[in-house]
Amino acid sequence: MTESEIRTKLWIAGEWVDSASGSTFAVHNPATNELLAEVQEGRSEDIDRAVGAARAALASAEWRDINPHDRSRLLWKLADLIEENADELATLETRDNGKPYFESRRVDLPSVVENFRYFAGMADKVHGSTIPVAGPFLNYTLREPVGVVGCIIPWNFPLPQAAWKVAPALACGNTVVLKPAEQTPLTALRLGELATEAGFPAGVLNVVPGFGETAGAELVRHPGVDAIAFTGSTPVGKIVMREAAETLKKVSLELGGKSPNVVFADADLKAAVRGASTGIFYGKGEVCAAGSRVLVERSAYEGFVEALAARAEQMTVGDPMEKTTRLGAIVSEEQLDRVMSYVEAGKSEGAKLVKGGDRVTVDGKGNFMTATVFADVDAGMKIAQEEIFGPVAAVIPFEDVDDAIAKANDTIYGLAAGVWTRDIGKAHRFAHEVQAGTVWVNTYNQYDSASPFGGYKQSGFSRDLGYGAALDKYTQTKSVWVAVDG
Ligand code: NAI
Ligand code: MG
Protein backbone atom coordinates (compact mmCIF):
# COMPACT_ATOMS: atom_id res chain seq x y z
CA MET A 1 0.00 0.00 0.00
CA THR A 2 1.37 3.38 -0.93
CA GLU A 3 1.21 6.41 1.31
CA SER A 4 -1.20 8.10 -1.09
CA GLU A 5 -3.73 5.30 -0.59
CA ILE A 6 -3.95 5.92 3.15
CA ARG A 7 -7.10 7.90 4.01
CA THR A 8 -6.15 10.88 6.13
CA LYS A 9 -9.22 13.12 6.22
CA LEU A 10 -12.39 13.09 8.29
CA TRP A 11 -15.25 11.01 6.92
CA ILE A 12 -18.39 13.10 7.46
CA ALA A 13 -21.70 12.83 5.61
CA GLY A 14 -20.18 10.48 3.06
CA GLU A 15 -17.32 12.78 2.11
CA TRP A 16 -13.68 13.36 2.91
CA VAL A 17 -13.30 16.71 4.62
CA ASP A 18 -10.48 18.63 6.26
CA SER A 19 -10.73 19.52 9.92
CA ALA A 20 -12.14 22.97 10.62
CA SER A 21 -8.91 24.10 12.25
CA GLY A 22 -6.77 22.56 9.51
CA SER A 23 -4.62 20.88 12.14
CA THR A 24 -3.31 17.38 11.69
CA PHE A 25 -1.61 14.80 13.86
CA ALA A 26 1.09 12.30 13.08
CA VAL A 27 0.43 8.57 12.95
CA HIS A 28 3.48 6.33 13.21
CA ASN A 29 4.29 2.74 12.44
CA PRO A 30 5.36 1.44 15.87
CA ALA A 31 7.58 -1.21 14.28
CA THR A 32 9.83 1.47 12.75
CA ASN A 33 8.62 4.73 14.29
CA GLU A 34 8.44 6.06 10.76
CA LEU A 35 5.65 8.45 9.87
CA LEU A 36 2.72 6.64 8.29
CA ALA A 37 0.42 9.58 7.76
CA GLU A 38 -0.56 13.05 8.85
CA VAL A 39 -4.22 12.72 9.71
CA GLN A 40 -6.72 15.57 9.99
CA GLU A 41 -7.38 16.21 13.66
CA GLY A 42 -11.04 16.36 14.64
CA ARG A 43 -11.90 18.85 17.35
CA SER A 44 -15.15 20.24 18.70
CA GLU A 45 -16.28 21.93 15.47
CA ASP A 46 -15.68 18.75 13.53
CA ILE A 47 -17.48 16.61 16.08
CA ASP A 48 -20.36 19.08 15.89
CA ARG A 49 -20.41 18.75 12.12
CA ALA A 50 -20.33 14.95 12.29
CA VAL A 51 -23.10 14.86 14.89
CA GLY A 52 -25.14 17.17 12.66
CA ALA A 53 -24.67 14.77 9.76
CA ALA A 54 -25.63 11.81 11.95
CA ARG A 55 -28.77 13.61 13.21
CA ALA A 56 -29.80 14.52 9.68
CA ALA A 57 -29.31 10.93 8.54
CA LEU A 58 -31.31 9.67 11.52
CA ALA A 59 -34.25 11.87 10.54
CA SER A 60 -34.01 11.15 6.82
CA ALA A 61 -36.71 8.96 5.31
CA GLU A 62 -33.97 7.06 3.52
CA TRP A 63 -32.64 5.68 6.80
CA ARG A 64 -35.53 6.06 9.27
CA ASP A 65 -38.05 4.34 7.03
CA ILE A 66 -35.74 1.82 5.45
CA ASN A 67 -37.16 -1.64 5.02
CA PRO A 68 -35.40 -3.78 7.68
CA HIS A 69 -34.46 -6.40 5.11
CA ASP A 70 -32.63 -3.69 3.18
CA ARG A 71 -30.83 -2.58 6.34
CA SER A 72 -29.73 -6.18 6.72
CA ARG A 73 -28.56 -6.29 3.11
CA LEU A 74 -26.47 -3.13 3.57
CA LEU A 75 -24.65 -4.66 6.52
CA TRP A 76 -24.10 -7.87 4.57
CA LYS A 77 -22.76 -5.85 1.63
CA LEU A 78 -20.38 -4.00 3.95
CA ALA A 79 -19.14 -7.38 5.23
CA ASP A 80 -18.50 -8.43 1.63
CA LEU A 81 -16.53 -5.25 0.93
CA ILE A 82 -14.43 -5.74 4.06
CA GLU A 83 -13.73 -9.30 2.93
CA GLU A 84 -12.78 -8.15 -0.57
CA ASN A 85 -10.40 -5.57 0.93
CA ALA A 86 -9.11 -7.80 3.72
CA ASP A 87 -5.48 -7.82 2.58
CA GLU A 88 -5.38 -4.04 2.41
CA LEU A 89 -7.16 -3.58 5.74
CA ALA A 90 -4.95 -6.12 7.51
CA THR A 91 -1.81 -4.48 6.15
CA LEU A 92 -3.05 -1.08 7.25
CA GLU A 93 -3.92 -2.42 10.70
CA THR A 94 -0.52 -4.04 11.17
CA ARG A 95 1.35 -0.95 10.05
CA ASP A 96 -0.76 1.23 12.31
CA ASN A 97 -0.83 -0.98 15.41
CA GLY A 98 2.30 -3.13 15.16
CA LYS A 99 0.50 -6.46 15.60
CA PRO A 100 1.72 -9.43 13.55
CA TYR A 101 0.16 -9.59 10.10
CA PHE A 102 -1.13 -13.11 10.67
CA GLU A 103 -3.15 -11.77 13.63
CA SER A 104 -4.62 -8.95 11.54
CA ARG A 105 -5.26 -11.06 8.47
CA ARG A 106 -6.13 -14.48 9.90
CA VAL A 107 -7.86 -13.51 13.15
CA ASP A 108 -9.06 -9.89 13.19
CA LEU A 109 -10.31 -9.52 9.62
CA PRO A 110 -12.34 -12.75 9.47
CA SER A 111 -13.88 -11.89 12.84
CA VAL A 112 -14.85 -8.42 11.60
CA VAL A 113 -16.51 -9.85 8.49
CA GLU A 114 -18.34 -12.41 10.59
CA ASN A 115 -19.40 -9.68 13.03
CA PHE A 116 -21.04 -7.60 10.31
CA ARG A 117 -22.78 -10.73 8.99
CA TYR A 118 -24.04 -11.69 12.43
CA PHE A 119 -25.54 -8.24 12.96
CA ALA A 120 -26.82 -8.18 9.38
CA GLY A 121 -28.86 -11.16 10.51
CA MET A 122 -30.14 -9.20 13.46
CA ALA A 123 -31.24 -6.13 11.49
CA ASP A 124 -34.65 -7.54 10.50
CA LYS A 125 -35.26 -9.20 13.87
CA VAL A 126 -35.42 -6.09 16.04
CA HIS A 127 -38.89 -6.38 17.49
CA GLY A 128 -40.81 -5.97 20.71
CA SER A 129 -43.51 -8.10 22.25
CA THR A 130 -47.23 -8.13 22.92
CA ILE A 131 -47.90 -8.12 26.63
CA PRO A 132 -51.01 -9.31 28.49
CA VAL A 133 -52.09 -6.44 30.74
CA ALA A 134 -55.06 -5.86 33.04
CA GLY A 135 -58.05 -4.18 31.46
CA PRO A 136 -59.41 -3.85 27.97
CA PHE A 137 -56.14 -2.95 26.37
CA LEU A 138 -53.76 -4.18 23.79
CA ASN A 139 -50.25 -3.50 24.99
CA TYR A 140 -47.20 -3.95 22.85
CA THR A 141 -43.62 -2.73 22.79
CA LEU A 142 -41.57 -1.22 20.01
CA ARG A 143 -37.81 -1.41 19.92
CA GLU A 144 -36.67 1.89 18.49
CA PRO A 145 -33.14 3.11 17.80
CA VAL A 146 -31.53 5.11 20.59
CA GLY A 147 -30.56 7.76 18.05
CA VAL A 148 -27.06 9.06 17.40
CA VAL A 149 -24.47 6.78 18.99
CA GLY A 150 -20.97 8.06 19.73
CA CYS A 151 -18.49 5.18 19.60
CA ILE A 152 -15.10 5.70 21.22
CA ILE A 153 -12.63 2.89 20.76
CA PRO A 154 -9.06 2.02 21.74
CA TRP A 155 -5.96 1.14 19.74
CA ASN A 156 -5.47 -2.54 20.54
CA PHE A 157 -8.04 -3.99 18.11
CA PRO A 158 -8.92 -0.96 16.01
CA LEU A 159 -11.08 -2.58 13.34
CA PRO A 160 -12.68 -5.32 15.48
CA GLN A 161 -13.53 -2.74 18.16
CA ALA A 162 -15.13 -0.51 15.54
CA ALA A 163 -17.10 -3.50 14.22
CA TRP A 164 -18.26 -4.59 17.70
CA LYS A 165 -19.96 -1.21 18.12
CA VAL A 166 -20.82 0.01 14.64
CA ALA A 167 -22.40 -3.24 13.38
CA PRO A 168 -25.03 -3.64 16.14
CA ALA A 169 -25.67 0.12 16.29
CA LEU A 170 -26.49 0.21 12.58
CA ALA A 171 -28.41 -3.07 12.74
CA CYS A 172 -30.73 -1.43 15.26
CA GLY A 173 -31.25 1.63 13.04
CA ASN A 174 -29.05 4.17 14.81
CA THR A 175 -26.56 6.50 13.18
CA VAL A 176 -22.97 6.69 14.38
CA VAL A 177 -20.08 9.04 14.98
CA LEU A 178 -17.00 6.88 15.46
CA LYS A 179 -13.90 8.29 17.15
CA PRO A 180 -10.98 5.92 16.73
CA ALA A 181 -7.94 6.04 19.00
CA GLU A 182 -5.37 8.67 18.08
CA GLN A 183 -2.69 5.96 17.81
CA THR A 184 -4.61 3.89 15.23
CA PRO A 185 -7.18 5.81 13.18
CA LEU A 186 -6.50 4.38 9.73
CA THR A 187 -8.72 1.31 9.37
CA ALA A 188 -11.70 3.11 10.91
CA LEU A 189 -11.45 5.80 8.22
CA ARG A 190 -11.45 3.14 5.52
CA LEU A 191 -14.46 1.50 7.19
CA GLY A 192 -16.42 4.76 6.92
CA GLU A 193 -15.67 4.95 3.23
CA LEU A 194 -16.60 1.30 2.65
CA ALA A 195 -19.93 1.81 4.45
CA THR A 196 -20.86 4.49 1.96
CA GLU A 197 -19.68 2.28 -0.91
CA ALA A 198 -21.94 -0.46 0.48
CA GLY A 199 -24.87 1.90 0.10
CA PHE A 200 -25.44 3.27 3.59
CA PRO A 201 -26.89 6.77 3.23
CA ALA A 202 -24.46 9.63 3.83
CA GLY A 203 -24.16 10.52 7.50
CA VAL A 204 -25.18 7.10 8.84
CA LEU A 205 -21.55 6.35 9.74
CA ASN A 206 -19.16 9.24 10.31
CA VAL A 207 -15.54 8.80 11.38
CA VAL A 208 -13.69 11.57 13.17
CA PRO A 209 -10.15 10.85 14.36
CA GLY A 210 -8.74 13.03 17.08
CA PHE A 211 -7.53 13.03 20.66
CA GLY A 212 -9.48 11.80 23.63
CA GLU A 213 -9.42 14.99 25.66
CA THR A 214 -10.74 17.04 22.72
CA ALA A 215 -12.63 15.04 20.08
CA GLY A 216 -13.59 12.22 22.49
CA ALA A 217 -14.67 14.53 25.29
CA GLU A 218 -16.69 16.69 22.88
CA LEU A 219 -18.54 13.65 21.57
CA VAL A 220 -19.40 12.67 25.15
CA ARG A 221 -20.64 16.17 25.96
CA HIS A 222 -22.49 16.90 22.72
CA PRO A 223 -26.24 17.29 23.29
CA GLY A 224 -26.94 15.82 19.84
CA VAL A 225 -25.50 12.45 20.86
CA ASP A 226 -27.91 10.05 22.57
CA ALA A 227 -25.59 7.25 23.63
CA ILE A 228 -21.91 6.62 24.14
CA ALA A 229 -20.42 3.20 23.57
CA PHE A 230 -16.91 3.32 25.01
CA THR A 231 -14.02 0.88 25.20
CA GLY A 232 -10.80 1.97 26.85
CA SER A 233 -9.15 2.43 30.21
CA THR A 234 -11.01 2.43 33.50
CA PRO A 235 -9.89 5.97 34.48
CA VAL A 236 -11.23 7.39 31.19
CA GLY A 237 -14.39 5.31 31.56
CA LYS A 238 -15.06 7.15 34.81
CA ILE A 239 -14.58 10.51 33.11
CA VAL A 240 -16.92 9.48 30.30
CA MET A 241 -19.63 8.49 32.75
CA ARG A 242 -19.32 11.75 34.69
CA GLU A 243 -19.34 13.91 31.56
CA ALA A 244 -22.23 12.01 29.99
CA ALA A 245 -24.34 12.68 33.08
CA GLU A 246 -24.86 16.30 32.07
CA THR A 247 -26.98 15.29 29.06
CA LEU A 248 -28.06 11.93 30.55
CA LYS A 249 -26.71 9.87 27.72
CA LYS A 250 -27.09 6.15 27.71
CA VAL A 251 -23.57 4.95 28.47
CA SER A 252 -21.92 1.59 28.01
CA LEU A 253 -18.38 0.98 29.19
CA GLU A 254 -16.03 -1.86 28.31
CA LEU A 255 -12.97 -1.14 30.42
CA GLY A 256 -9.74 -2.61 31.68
CA GLY A 257 -9.00 -5.90 33.31
CA LYS A 258 -6.55 -7.86 35.38
CA SER A 259 -7.95 -11.20 34.48
CA PRO A 260 -6.98 -14.33 36.42
CA ASN A 261 -6.05 -17.46 34.49
CA VAL A 262 -6.27 -20.19 37.14
CA VAL A 263 -4.45 -23.49 36.80
CA PHE A 264 -5.20 -26.42 39.09
CA ALA A 265 -2.63 -29.19 39.50
CA ASP A 266 -5.10 -31.73 38.08
CA ALA A 267 -5.33 -29.88 34.74
CA ASP A 268 -3.88 -30.96 31.42
CA LEU A 269 -0.80 -28.90 32.22
CA LYS A 270 0.55 -28.84 28.70
CA ALA A 271 -2.68 -27.31 27.48
CA ALA A 272 -2.74 -24.95 30.47
CA VAL A 273 0.75 -23.67 29.73
CA ARG A 274 -0.25 -23.03 26.11
CA GLY A 275 -3.42 -21.30 27.29
CA ALA A 276 -1.56 -19.18 29.83
CA SER A 277 0.95 -18.20 27.18
CA THR A 278 -1.55 -17.14 24.52
CA GLY A 279 -3.70 -15.66 27.30
CA ILE A 280 -1.04 -13.09 28.09
CA PHE A 281 1.21 -12.91 25.02
CA TYR A 282 -1.32 -12.93 22.19
CA GLY A 283 -1.77 -9.44 20.79
CA LYS A 284 1.34 -8.32 22.70
CA GLY A 285 -0.73 -8.51 25.87
CA GLU A 286 -2.55 -5.39 24.67
CA VAL A 287 -5.81 -7.23 25.21
CA CYS A 288 -8.45 -6.06 27.67
CA ALA A 289 -9.16 -9.67 28.67
CA ALA A 290 -5.48 -10.68 28.83
CA GLY A 291 -4.85 -13.36 31.44
CA SER A 292 -2.27 -11.19 33.13
CA ARG A 293 -2.50 -12.94 36.52
CA VAL A 294 -1.59 -16.57 36.13
CA LEU A 295 -2.63 -18.32 39.35
CA VAL A 296 -1.11 -21.78 39.74
CA GLU A 297 -1.76 -24.41 42.42
CA ARG A 298 1.30 -24.75 44.67
CA SER A 299 2.08 -28.40 43.86
CA ALA A 300 2.34 -27.62 40.14
CA TYR A 301 3.83 -24.16 40.54
CA GLU A 302 7.54 -24.60 39.93
CA GLY A 303 7.25 -26.77 36.84
CA PHE A 304 4.60 -24.48 35.45
CA VAL A 305 6.74 -21.38 35.81
CA GLU A 306 9.54 -23.13 33.98
CA ALA A 307 7.27 -24.27 31.16
CA LEU A 308 5.70 -20.83 30.77
CA ALA A 309 9.15 -19.25 30.64
CA ALA A 310 10.10 -21.71 27.90
CA ARG A 311 7.06 -20.69 25.89
CA ALA A 312 7.84 -17.01 26.45
CA GLU A 313 11.23 -17.73 24.94
CA GLN A 314 9.47 -18.91 21.78
CA MET A 315 7.58 -15.65 21.38
CA THR A 316 9.78 -14.40 18.56
CA VAL A 317 10.02 -10.64 18.47
CA GLY A 318 10.26 -9.32 14.95
CA ASP A 319 8.95 -7.36 12.01
CA PRO A 320 5.15 -7.68 12.25
CA MET A 321 4.96 -8.44 8.53
CA GLU A 322 7.23 -11.50 8.95
CA LYS A 323 5.52 -14.89 9.16
CA THR A 324 7.73 -16.06 12.01
CA THR A 325 6.97 -13.08 14.25
CA ARG A 326 4.88 -13.90 17.30
CA LEU A 327 5.34 -10.66 19.23
CA GLY A 328 4.90 -7.48 17.23
CA ALA A 329 5.66 -3.89 18.15
CA ILE A 330 4.13 -2.29 21.24
CA VAL A 331 1.65 0.28 19.93
CA SER A 332 3.62 3.41 20.85
CA GLU A 333 6.75 4.57 22.56
CA GLU A 334 4.60 5.96 25.37
CA GLN A 335 2.93 2.59 25.89
CA LEU A 336 6.28 0.79 25.84
CA ASP A 337 7.56 3.21 28.50
CA ARG A 338 4.48 2.45 30.58
CA VAL A 339 4.90 -1.31 30.27
CA MET A 340 8.63 -1.09 31.04
CA SER A 341 7.84 0.95 34.15
CA TYR A 342 5.81 -2.05 35.36
CA VAL A 343 8.75 -4.35 34.67
CA GLU A 344 10.83 -2.08 36.89
CA ALA A 345 8.09 -2.02 39.53
CA GLY A 346 7.97 -5.82 39.53
CA LYS A 347 11.71 -6.02 40.09
CA SER A 348 11.81 -3.39 42.79
CA GLU A 349 8.85 -4.88 44.66
CA GLY A 350 10.70 -8.18 44.85
CA ALA A 351 9.01 -10.37 42.24
CA LYS A 352 11.32 -12.81 40.49
CA LEU A 353 11.94 -11.99 36.82
CA VAL A 354 12.30 -15.39 35.22
CA LYS A 355 12.10 -14.45 31.55
CA GLY A 356 12.25 -11.39 29.31
CA GLY A 357 11.79 -7.89 30.63
CA ASP A 358 13.97 -6.43 27.89
CA ARG A 359 13.31 -3.48 25.67
CA VAL A 360 14.58 -4.35 22.19
CA THR A 361 14.60 -3.10 18.61
CA VAL A 362 14.24 -4.89 15.30
CA ASP A 363 16.77 -3.82 12.67
CA GLY A 364 17.68 -1.06 15.09
CA LYS A 365 14.16 0.37 15.09
CA GLY A 366 10.76 0.28 16.71
CA ASN A 367 9.05 -0.22 20.08
CA PHE A 368 9.60 -3.83 20.99
CA MET A 369 10.04 -5.85 24.14
CA THR A 370 10.46 -9.50 24.98
CA ALA A 371 7.75 -11.71 26.46
CA THR A 372 8.09 -11.35 30.21
CA VAL A 373 7.35 -13.72 33.08
CA PHE A 374 7.46 -12.76 36.75
CA ALA A 375 7.22 -15.49 39.38
CA ASP A 376 6.70 -15.32 43.15
CA VAL A 377 4.38 -12.40 42.68
CA ASP A 378 2.58 -11.24 45.77
CA ALA A 379 -1.11 -10.35 45.37
CA GLY A 380 -0.47 -6.86 46.71
CA MET A 381 2.23 -5.92 44.22
CA LYS A 382 1.55 -3.36 41.49
CA ILE A 383 2.10 -5.95 38.77
CA ALA A 384 -0.61 -8.09 40.38
CA GLN A 385 -3.11 -5.25 40.72
CA GLU A 386 -2.75 -2.78 37.85
CA GLU A 387 -3.53 -3.28 34.19
CA ILE A 388 -0.18 -3.38 32.39
CA PHE A 389 -1.48 -3.90 28.85
CA GLY A 390 1.70 -5.51 27.63
CA PRO A 391 3.29 -8.99 27.38
CA VAL A 392 3.95 -9.34 31.10
CA ALA A 393 2.70 -12.35 33.08
CA ALA A 394 2.53 -12.30 36.87
CA VAL A 395 2.54 -15.88 38.13
CA ILE A 396 1.07 -16.31 41.60
CA PRO A 397 0.82 -19.51 43.66
CA PHE A 398 -2.38 -20.62 45.44
CA GLU A 399 -3.21 -23.39 47.91
CA ASP A 400 -6.70 -24.75 47.17
CA VAL A 401 -10.04 -23.93 45.52
CA ASP A 402 -11.07 -21.41 48.17
CA ASP A 403 -7.73 -19.66 47.94
CA ALA A 404 -7.88 -19.68 44.11
CA ILE A 405 -11.30 -18.07 44.08
CA ALA A 406 -10.34 -15.51 46.74
CA LYS A 407 -7.18 -14.56 44.84
CA ALA A 408 -8.98 -14.49 41.48
CA ASN A 409 -11.48 -12.01 42.91
CA ASP A 410 -8.87 -9.89 44.68
CA THR A 411 -8.99 -7.10 42.10
CA ILE A 412 -11.05 -4.04 41.26
CA TYR A 413 -11.58 -5.55 37.80
CA GLY A 414 -13.87 -8.29 36.53
CA LEU A 415 -13.60 -8.64 32.80
CA ALA A 416 -12.67 -12.27 32.21
CA ALA A 417 -11.23 -15.36 33.87
CA GLY A 418 -9.85 -18.72 32.87
CA VAL A 419 -9.79 -21.99 34.79
CA TRP A 420 -7.87 -25.16 33.95
CA THR A 421 -8.89 -28.41 35.65
CA ARG A 422 -10.14 -31.91 34.84
CA ASP A 423 -12.53 -31.73 37.78
CA ILE A 424 -15.88 -30.64 36.40
CA GLY A 425 -17.20 -29.72 39.85
CA LYS A 426 -14.28 -27.43 40.53
CA ALA A 427 -14.64 -25.84 37.11
CA HIS A 428 -18.31 -25.05 37.61
CA ARG A 429 -17.80 -23.80 41.14
CA PHE A 430 -15.12 -21.44 39.88
CA ALA A 431 -17.33 -20.30 36.99
CA HIS A 432 -20.10 -19.45 39.46
CA GLU A 433 -17.98 -17.73 42.09
CA VAL A 434 -15.53 -15.75 40.00
CA GLN A 435 -16.60 -12.14 39.46
CA ALA A 436 -16.05 -11.78 35.75
CA GLY A 437 -18.13 -11.16 32.64
CA THR A 438 -16.58 -14.06 30.74
CA VAL A 439 -15.23 -17.37 32.05
CA TRP A 440 -13.19 -19.75 29.94
CA VAL A 441 -12.90 -23.36 31.09
CA ASN A 442 -9.87 -25.22 29.72
CA THR A 443 -9.46 -22.58 27.04
CA TYR A 444 -8.75 -18.85 26.86
CA ASN A 445 -9.43 -15.85 24.61
CA GLN A 446 -12.45 -17.23 22.78
CA TYR A 447 -14.86 -14.73 21.25
CA ASP A 448 -17.91 -14.99 19.05
CA SER A 449 -20.30 -12.36 17.77
CA ALA A 450 -23.14 -14.33 19.32
CA SER A 451 -21.74 -14.40 22.86
CA PRO A 452 -21.90 -11.28 25.06
CA PHE A 453 -18.63 -9.78 26.26
CA GLY A 454 -18.10 -7.18 28.98
CA GLY A 455 -17.21 -6.58 32.57
CA TYR A 456 -18.16 -6.96 36.20
CA LYS A 457 -16.95 -4.45 38.81
CA GLN A 458 -14.66 -1.71 37.48
CA SER A 459 -14.32 -3.44 34.13
CA GLY A 460 -17.49 -1.61 33.20
CA PHE A 461 -21.06 -2.53 32.40
CA SER A 462 -23.28 -3.40 29.51
CA ARG A 463 -22.05 -5.90 26.92
CA ASP A 464 -20.65 -5.95 23.43
CA LEU A 465 -21.67 -8.76 21.05
CA GLY A 466 -24.70 -11.00 21.27
CA TYR A 467 -28.22 -10.32 20.07
CA GLY A 468 -29.77 -9.64 23.47
CA ALA A 469 -27.00 -7.31 24.60
CA ALA A 470 -27.21 -5.37 21.35
CA LEU A 471 -30.95 -4.99 21.74
CA ASP A 472 -30.50 -3.58 25.27
CA LYS A 473 -27.70 -1.29 24.28
CA TYR A 474 -28.73 0.07 20.91
CA THR A 475 -32.53 0.27 21.18
CA GLN A 476 -35.00 1.90 23.51
CA THR A 477 -38.33 0.39 24.39
CA LYS A 478 -41.63 2.12 23.76
CA SER A 479 -44.73 0.67 25.39
CA VAL A 480 -47.93 1.30 23.43
CA TRP A 481 -51.41 1.02 25.01
CA VAL A 482 -54.46 0.69 22.85
CA ALA A 483 -57.99 0.73 24.29
CA VAL A 484 -59.87 -2.15 22.72
CA ASP A 485 -63.38 -1.84 24.16
CA GLY A 486 -65.39 0.25 21.77
P1 NAI B 1 -7.62 5.64 26.90
O2 NAI B 1 -8.69 5.07 27.76
O3 NAI B 1 -7.11 7.00 27.21
O4 NAI B 1 -8.12 5.66 25.37
C5 NAI B 1 -9.20 4.91 24.84
C6 NAI B 1 -10.05 5.82 23.94
O7 NAI B 1 -10.64 6.84 24.73
C8 NAI B 1 -9.26 6.55 22.85
O9 NAI B 1 -10.06 6.66 21.69
C10 NAI B 1 -9.06 7.91 23.47
O11 NAI B 1 -8.85 8.92 22.51
C12 NAI B 1 -10.36 8.12 24.19
N13 NAI B 1 -10.32 9.09 25.29
C14 NAI B 1 -9.28 9.41 26.09
N15 NAI B 1 -9.62 10.37 26.97
C16 NAI B 1 -10.92 10.68 26.73
C17 NAI B 1 -11.85 11.59 27.30
N18 NAI B 1 -11.51 12.39 28.31
N19 NAI B 1 -13.10 11.62 26.81
C20 NAI B 1 -13.47 10.81 25.81
N21 NAI B 1 -12.63 9.94 25.20
C22 NAI B 1 -11.37 9.86 25.66
O23 NAI B 1 -6.41 4.62 26.89
P24 NAI B 1 -4.86 4.95 26.60
O25 NAI B 1 -4.46 6.22 27.27
O26 NAI B 1 -4.68 4.87 25.14
O27 NAI B 1 -4.16 3.71 27.30
C28 NAI B 1 -3.79 3.76 28.67
C29 NAI B 1 -4.03 2.46 29.37
O30 NAI B 1 -5.41 2.18 29.37
C31 NAI B 1 -3.41 1.22 28.76
O32 NAI B 1 -2.11 1.03 29.19
C33 NAI B 1 -4.32 0.14 29.25
O34 NAI B 1 -3.95 -0.23 30.55
C35 NAI B 1 -5.66 0.81 29.30
N36 NAI B 1 -6.48 0.52 28.11
C37 NAI B 1 -7.37 -0.48 28.17
C38 NAI B 1 -8.11 -0.81 27.07
C39 NAI B 1 -9.08 -1.91 27.11
O40 NAI B 1 -9.50 -2.39 26.06
N41 NAI B 1 -9.50 -2.35 28.25
C42 NAI B 1 -7.95 -0.11 25.80
C43 NAI B 1 -7.03 0.98 25.85
C44 NAI B 1 -6.32 1.24 26.96
MG1 MG C 1 -5.28 8.20 27.44
pLDDT digits 0-9 by tens, 417-447: 999 999 999 999 999 999 999 999 999 999 9
pLDDT at 1: 58
Measured in angstroms, how far is the CA atom of residue 156 from the centroid of ligand 2? Answer: 13
Rg (CA), the chain: 23
Ligand closest in space to the Cα of 179: 1
| Distant-in-sequence, close-in-space partners of 2: CB < 8 Å, separation ≥ 6 | none
Instruction: Please work out whether the CB of residue 41 comes within 6 Å of at least one atom of ligand 1.
Output: no
Note whether 396 and 384 are within 8 A (CB). Answer: yes
Q: Could you tell me if the CB of 286 is within 6 A of ligand 1? A: no
Cα(207) to centroid of ligand 1, in Å? 17
Distance, CA 459 to ligand 1 centroid (Å)? 13
CA-nearest of 170, 175, 143, 176 to 77 is 170
Complete DSSP assignment for 324-349:
T-SB---S-HHHHHHHHHHHHHHHHT
Ligand closest in space to the Cα of 211: 1
CA dihedral 60, 64, 67, 69 (to 10 degrees): 110
Q: pTM score, two decimals?
A: 0.98
Residues of the chain with pLDDT under 70: 1-4, 486
The span from the CA of 144 to the CA of 475, in Å, is 5
Predicted local distance difference test score (pLDDT) of residue 3 = 57
For ligand 1, atom 16, the nearest C-alpha belongs to 212
**What is the β-pairing status of strands 416-420 and 260-263?**
parallel
Catalytic residue selected from 254, 286, 297, 387: 254
The pLDDT value recorded for residue 30 is 98
Q: What pLDDT does residue 2 have? A: 59
Query: What is the CB neighbour count within 10 angstroms for residue 284?
Result: 34
